[in-house]
C-alpha cells in the first residue's frame, strides 16, 4: 500500500498571508457607500477570520447598525467584486512562509488551505502571491455543502473534507492557523494544531489552547517535529 504523505493544512488570512490591509480597505469602501464611518485597521484585524459576511456585519455593528440578510447579501456581492479587483494591493505572505514550504516539501510533506474565505478569491490571492501551485487543495467556505448549506469552520467536516481533497489522511495531518476558529476546528476533528501569534484575533492565541504556538514560520519545523514525536 502506498504511504500517504504527511499534510499541513493552513488557514489563509492571518496565517499564510497578511491580508488585513486589503480586507479593511474593501470594508471601508462598502461602509463609505452606505454613509457609515470607516473602521481603523487595528480594529479590523480583530474582525477578520470568519469570512466577508461576518466582517461586513462587524463593520456595521461598529457603527451601531444591524443588517438584514437581503441587504447583507447585496453588500457581500459588492464586497467580493471590489475585493477581487484589489486582492493583493497590500497583501503579502508572512516572512518565512516560502522557506518553510520549501523545507517541508523537501521532507515529503504536502500542503492544503482550509479557509473561511470564499474559494475563488482564495485561489486568486494565492495565485497573485505566487504560491497557488504549492497546495494540493484550496478550500473555502463555499467549497463543501450539506443540503445546499455551506460547510465552514469551525465545523470539523470542513477540515476533514479539505484533507480528503488534498489526498491526505487525518492521522498524518496538522492544522496551522491563527484564530480560535482554527483551533476549535482542529480540536473538533481530533487533529493537532499549531497557532501563529501574529494573526487576527482579539485575544492572544494561546488563550484558546492550541497544541503549540509559534511567532515566526522559522519555528514551524520544530513545532511539527514535536507533534510528530508525540504521535509516534
What residues are labeled active site? Answer: 11
Residue 81: count other Cβ atoms within 10 Å of its Cβ: 10
Helix H or strand E encompassing 55: helix 52-62
How many C-beta atoms surround the C-beta of residue 4 within 10 A?
14
Inter-CA distances, 24 with 44, 50, 56, 58, 126, Å = 6, 14, 10, 11, 18
Q: ω into residue 154 within 30 of 0, thus cis?
A: yes
Residues 200, 14 contacting (CB under 8 angstroms): yes
How many angstroms separate the CA atoms of 101 and 171, rounded?
20
Block residue for cell numbers 461602509: 31
Amino acid at each position: 500500500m502506498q504511504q500517504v504523505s504527511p499534510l499541513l493544512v493552513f488557514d489563509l488570512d492571518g496565517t499564510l498571508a497578511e491580508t488585513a490591509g486589503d480586507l479593511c480597505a474593501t470594508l471601508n469602501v462598502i461602509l463609505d457607500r452606505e454613509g457609515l464611518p470607516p473602521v481603523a485597521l487595528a480594529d479590523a484585524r480583530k474582525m477578520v477570520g470568519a469570512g466577508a459576511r461576518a466582517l461586513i456585519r462587524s463593520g456595521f455593528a461598529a457603527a451601531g447598525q444591524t443588517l438584514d440578510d437581503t441587504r447583507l447579501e447585496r453588500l457581500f456581492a459588492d464586497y467580493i467584486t471590489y475585493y477581487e479587483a484589489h486582492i493583493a494591493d497590500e497583501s503579502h505572505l508572512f516572512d518565512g512562509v516560502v522557506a518553510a514550504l520549501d523545507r517541508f516539501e523537501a521532507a515529503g510533506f504536502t500542503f492544503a488551505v482550509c479557509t473561511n474565505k470564499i474559494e475563488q478569491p482564495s485561489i486568486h490571492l494565492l495565485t497573485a502571491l505566487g504560491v497557488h501551485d504549492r497546495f494540493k487543495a484550496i478550500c473555502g467556505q463555499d467549497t463543501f455543502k450539506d443540503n445546499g448549506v455551506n460547510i465552514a469552520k469551525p465545523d470539523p467536516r470542513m477540515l476533514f473534507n479539505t484533507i480528503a481533497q488534498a489526498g491526505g489522511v487525518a492521522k498524518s495531518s496538522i492544522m496551522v492557523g491563527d484564530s480560535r476558529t482554527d483551533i476549535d476546528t482542529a480540536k473538533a476533528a481530533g487533529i493537532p494544531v499549531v497557532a501563529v501569534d501574529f494573526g487576527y484575533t482579539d485575544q492572544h492565541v494561546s488563550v484558546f489552547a492550541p497544541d503549540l504556538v509559534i511567532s515566526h514560520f522559522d519555528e514551524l519545523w520544530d513545532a511539527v517535529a514535536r507533534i510528530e514525536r508525540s504521535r509516534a
